[in-house]
Chain A
Amino acid sequence: MIIRFKINEIECEVNEEKEDITILQACTANGIEIPRFCYHEKLTIAGNCRMCLVYVTNEEKLLAACGIPLDENFDDESIETEIDEILKAREGVMEFLLINHPLDCPICDQGGECDLQEQTLAYGLDTGRFYIKKRAVEIKTFGRLIKGIMTRCIHCTRCVRFLTEIAGVNELGVLGRGYNMEIGTYKKNVMIESELSGNIIDLCPVGALTSAVYAYKGRPWELKNIKGIDIFDTLLTPINYQVKGGEIFRILPRINDRINEEWITDKVRFHYESYKIIEKIRKETPSYKIQANKFIELTWKTALKMVFKVLLNKKNKVDLIIGSKINSTNLRIYKELMNRLGSKNYITENGLMFKKFNYDLRENYINSNDLYNVDKNDLVLLCGINLRVESPLLNIKLRNVNFGDDEIESVKKIGIIGNKFDWKHESEYIGATLNSMLKLFEGRLPYCQQIKKSKAPLIIVGPSLLTRISLTLQEMRAIFMKACNLKPENILIITQGANFGMALEEGLFKEKFSIGGNVLYSIDSNEVQVTNKINYVIYQGIINDKFENKIDLYLPSKHYFEDFEGDREVYMNTFGQRSEIEKLSISKGNKIKENSMIGYIQLMYLNNKEMTRKEKEQKDIKLSYREMKKEEKRKIKVNKYLTINNIIENYYMTDINIRLSKNLMITGQLRKEKKIMEAGIWKNRKCI
């Protein structure tokens, strides 16, 4: 049935069968703004702030627009949002909200982007009529990252709803009633144990929950937005760097419904602290080690000459390891450099971990499925992936999958192979070793029947498995298709590192690569184990904490967001979606150079020609169709009893930028002590 109604004399139509919308959504669609506090598009409707009251003809009372669906009762009705009655009602609601709200806007971090402030200006009374005492609530601490000044709270319950519904940790709640109502954790000093806890800062319409790291640092109107991406994840979540005077003040999510909706992880939200520390402690000139812990400063000319001396020496065998944040232009430059030197020992930091990848076809490393449709699957099998740690944003997408109302049946629809972890969903545990994986391949597992039964299964293959099994995705897909009647789009592959897909695209991948040379040339890569075999280490990057004392020649280079020509650069995520980043310069040393610049100089030195991709090389990497067929038939030889352990031990220790951020570090340590990550929070709590 088509419902016809009027909003402020604008005629509207809604098809009831197709659309299921509320009054508020209809008003927003027609460009009419309705003030709200508790309503949020991504959360369930609470309807407790009463700010969105509207007038509907033939209704005795004013209606809360956020919670009333448009049905046949609204046919031929007219909705008014600007009449005097509504304006008065809004004034009344504002007055009640402000009874107990402190007047500390000048010292409040939310000032300038506060919903309450803005709406008071627009809809509130200009004078206060309350001379009674205000209520005070004690300050609450939710860990090192979030500051809770709960006197400012207006009880919209957005934070409670986000944590329960989306993050899946039931740590915050509405306690007490009436005048004594508080938002809190009931017990004192409880840390919110979620990788996405920082999002409640964005959700809070007032200054009750604010970032502890950004506290008293800046004001929103003086910060400039610069586009960036989350480089700690393969999803490459779009973010905004908020910058003032060459310094990052905070990081906020950029809304993208196809990737992150409105959320970002704590890692990326709070990692910017490290850039300031890096600026203080990094070396700003090329330097050469003459003794242990003693470096002499060099000019770029001599430094590069020394590099060539090492690279061109025919006795040396050079391994080039490229960090996970380096963009595709640089990947191409350094690959070209190594090719011209006649070597093929180049790989990315993450490529080093994985056993086998076939990069002649794009579908083998870029997922063809759409992240947007992930929650439409009805069965999920996780193979060697700890979703909470390795891809928290994919985790919250999967948490929304409807597995049916039946409790016992729904548990069967989520299987886990690999390490146990608490991803806030009841699930069936299949096995920890590769043996159960092999059984699954052969179709001998009872779970295979489950997979065959379901209409849209999704098998997520994670990095923990890919580092331990030497099968290309193509082979794996072929086996899965045979065993469980799957289609290619039913398999989802999650790797590690921001540039993994791009590195394969550029052909920077080698089977069975291990560091075998005596010279290590590391470009912004910290996660490499330097063996005793290596007698010369060139580190070209920002700062190193893993093999700092082994570096012989240090070349300072810029951060990934400074490291490109022009204004913008494009990164590609594991779904083939492209995210744009803008140039942001925060490095202050004038001797620090871009990786691309250093690479170009090296190439110029070798051959004074403009860089082009060699066609010959492209032929090298392509396997013929016959070979591909052969590979499929190859038998799998693995150690059956190898357990698929998680490759990430501590979520807060994966990258140099995170290791240097004070608050993230402390959060990580606190959580490690409690051993919360693996054990979960409340399910395994012992009840005496």
Chain B
Amino acid sequence: MFRSLLKRTTFLNQLNKSNGFNRNYFKQSTLTRSDALSRHVETEDNNEHTPFDFTQENLVKVEKILAKYPKQYRQSALIPLLDLAQRQNGGWISLRAMDKVAHICGIAPMTAYEVASFYTMFNRTKIGENFVQVCTTTPCMLRGSGEIIKTCKSHLGIQVGETTPDNKFTLVEVECLGACVNAPMMCINDDFYEDLTSASTINLLDQIKNNKPTKIGPQTHRKAAEGPQGKTTLLEPPVGPTCRDDL
């Protein structure tokens, strides 16, 4: 069957050429990875029977999060709870975890699925221990994020959207993570690594692979987002409010 299709394709291509058309009638769509699919993919480690429940520690956190909202609007806690479930579950959120969160919020599971599939920061398929997100939005791209992606691919031996066989790394491309001053950058789990080069990327990935401590932030001598002249303004220590402490 495939052969006959191929024959037809070549025949049509010839036909098009002879007519002077330059249109491609048979095009294959790009392969979509399961993490980008907007539906549930039944796998061994993510199905109807995969158990999930919050740990005792996290249940205390759940109560804390729920207490922030009025009782009749407890569905507002959906996103923080999904995040909590994802953290507990090793960086991804299973079907049962979404059901559990929906149950706590008193809403239909469908709403939880909708929210989890809308936000790209929720992973609905299993990922590796370290979630490598390389930013490829314009500023990072101009500063050489293509090189960083290439390095990651060749060093880890995987394509974008894949997980290494030892389950250590999952590589994805993401949109702007808000550290454009220090482009190019990538985010591994919750930490930003900025001012990357190929060499520093390889170094970083090796350090993480061997469970060695890493330097968070710029990988050069630069401190935070300072310019070449160092700090010229805002010299006094920052006053609050600082980042939320509940996460």
Contact A187/B51 with A171-B110, A175-B114 known, Cβ cut-off 8 Å: no
A685 and B95 CA atoms in complex are apart in Å by 13
A172 within 8 A of B: yes
A136 and B29 CA atoms in complex are apart in Å by 9
Closest to B124 in A: A186
A184 within 8 A of B: yes
B196 CB → nearest A CB, Å: 28
Where chain A touches its partner, the secondary structure class is loop
Within 8 Å CB of A10, what residues of B? Answer: none
A12 and B100 CA atoms in complex are apart in Å by 53
Closest to A180 in B: B38
Within 8 Å CB of A645, what residues of B? Answer: none
> Interface on A for B, CB 8 Å cutoff?
131, 133, 135-136, 164, 170-177, 180-182, 184-188, 405-407, 682, 685, 687-688
B166 within 8 A of A: no
Contact A175/B39 with A186-B110, A406-B72, A407-B72 known, Cβ cut-off 8 Å: yes
In the complex, are the beta carbons of A174 and B114 less than 8 A apart?
A: yes
In the complex, are the beta carbons of B72 and A176 less than 8 A apart?
A: no
Q: Which residues 76-125 of B have a CB within 8 angstroms of A? A: 95-96, 99-100, 102-103, 107-111, 113-114, 117-118, 120
Q: Which residues 18-68 of B have a CB within 8 angstroms of A? A: 23, 27, 29, 32, 36-40, 42, 48-49, 51-53
Partner pick for B38 among A176, A187, A687, A688, CB 8 A cutoff: A176
Q: Name 13 interchain pairs, CB-CB below 8 A, sorted by A.
A: A172-B110, A173-B110, A174-B118, A175-B38, A176-B117, A180-B36, A181-B38, A184-B39, A186-B113, A187-B40, A188-B39, A682-B108, A687-B53
Within 8 Å CB of A407, what residues of B? Answer: 71-72
In the complex, are the beta carbons of A176 and B118 less than 8 A apart?
A: yes
Within 8 Å CB of A176, what residues of B? Answer: 37-38, 117-118
In the complex, are the beta carbons of B52 and A688 less than 8 A apart?
A: yes
Contact A173/B114 with A180-B36, A187-B40, A682-B109 known, Cβ cut-off 8 Å: yes
A136 CB → nearest B CB, Å: 7
B31 CB → nearest A CB, Å: 13
In the complex, are the beta carbons of A688 and B117 less than 8 A apart?
A: no
Q: How many residues of B contact A (CB 8 A)?
A: 33
In the complex, are the beta carbons of A170 and B111 less than 8 A apart?
A: yes
A186-B39, A405-B72 known, 7 other contacts, Cβ within 8 Å? A170-B108, A170-B109, A173-B111, A173-B113, A184-B38, A685-B99, A687-B96
A180 and B38 CA atoms in complex are apart in Å by 7
Within 8 Å CB of A685, what residues of B? Answer: 99, 103, 109
Within 8 Å CB of A687, what residues of B? Answer: 53, 96, 99-100, 103
Within 8 Å CB of B95, what residues of A? Answer: 187
Contact A170/B99 with A175-B39, A180-B38, A182-B38 known, Cβ cut-off 8 Å: no
A688 and B49 CA atoms in complex are apart in Å by 8
A136 and B52 CA atoms in complex are apart in Å by 34
Within 8 Å CB of B120, what residues of A? Answer: 177
